[in-house]
Structure 1
Amino acid sequence: MKAPLLLIVAVWLNVPYGGSSSCSVPPSQWCSSLDSAVQCGVLKECLESNFTRSHQTADPVQVGLYYESLCPGCRMFLSTVLFPTWLLLHDIMTVDLVPYGNAVEKHDGKKYTYECQHGEQECLGNMIETCILKLSKIPFPIIFCMEFSTDVINSAQSCVKIYNPELSWKSVMDCVNGTQGNELMHQNALSTQGLKPPHQYVPWVTINGKHTEDLQDKAMASLFTLVCNMYQGEKPPACGGGKRHYKSYCQRN
């Protein structure tokens, strides 16, 4: 079972939602098994989420974000637009994060090296987020936590501890400082360099693998509206599909 929206919001806000004091697993794992769902008092929500996903009538909209960890515009888009949209529409959209942006890759004969637009700290932030994307089962809330904080780098360890406590910080840093992280960042470089058309700036948004200035403008203006319009299946309630859930109105005198 995959965590439904309400549980993801609980992870985002870091507040307890499970109805049972015997719950001993983090929110991201509440729907990982029938036992944990029962233990944490969220069986109904987990089953409802599975039912909704199993009755999807079209492929989800794929939203790609090519960005830099310390780019102000990237941070704002990721934390105030992309992440909230994903929270509301995660049943009909997927997110692919590629932290690299305007970096320059070189090879010194042994490994790849990087020069980043906002300096060495940005290279470190890109690498930490790249390793989190690989190692964590729920990476997006961690990266949101980092990008929304006042200090992207120094918040990383605490963000991992809050949203994915079973992921050790040592394993993240082993990836960052080792061959695994170096190769993962090389893949980010290849993905970014292979964009068609080539990216001219960041944040650079793709929708279903495509980028146009029209799609970029619509994503920046209202990604929520764009995803709802692009989804080819039955619209979820968040997009205005289905029946109204609110029946009480304040009538005009």
Structure 2
Amino acid sequence: MPSSPVHARVRHVLILGGTTEARRLAAALEAEPGVRVTTSLAGRVAAPRLPAGEVRIGGFGGPEGLARWLRAHAVDALIDATHPFAGTISFNAARAAATAHVPLLALRRPGWGAQPGDVWHPVPSLAEAAAALPALGGRVFLTTGRMGLAHFAHLTDLWFLVRSVDAPEPPHPPRMTTVLDRGPFTLDGERELLRRHRIDVLVTKDSGAAATAPKLAAAREAGVPVVVVQRPAVPEGVPVAAEPDAAVDWVRALLG
């Protein structure tokens, strides 16, 4: 009598997402045989671009809550593909993975590097960026997102052009114009923004994203100084992949 076929268990991968790389990774893993993909989104954007596979939206309740979710949903691998500046969730992921004994990988796109002609002022935080501005210019193009505007609210003598996906809420600088937009952006478009609004200083986080890099080239051409907020380090001991293909290879090797 022939034996019954043996079916391999479907392996569950949880992606902490919200980035272009996370969506690319979800699409690639969704095509892998025997892999179930769930992407978790923080829910900070009103209309996020949804990835392939299953999606959950909202927080976990800290590292303990994430560890419980990993166990309850039989997660075999955890990939932190959040924004390079989403420091809290990255450290929560490291603690949760250690508690639940789930392998963890960080997917981090490389940061930007200064090129000839750039006038960069690296700073470690948004607070330090705000402190540097009065000496650099009076018309600021602020591209650090809507969540950290409180750091600039006291700069009443400066004018800000703020670009974000969703409308910012107070506290924020009193002299401010908001542009609601989402990348990718073009070099011609960034040149026009700098010219039309007479921008004399740019503030950005070192996200490393190609979709938002044209503002750096436009600033270089115009001789506009750039305050660059440096990204936080990946939690110690967590392996890092620089691109989705490398993360797929990690999953393949891990899950066999």
Higher percent of residues as helix? 1
- Shorter-chain TM-score above 0.5: no
User: Greater relative contact order (Cα 8 A, min sep 6): structure 1 or 2?
Assistant: 1
Larger Rg: 2
- Which structure dedicates a bigger proportion of its chain to strand? 2
What is the TM-score with the length of structure 2 in the denominator?
0.28
Q: So what's the TM-score if we normalise by structure 1?
A: 0.28
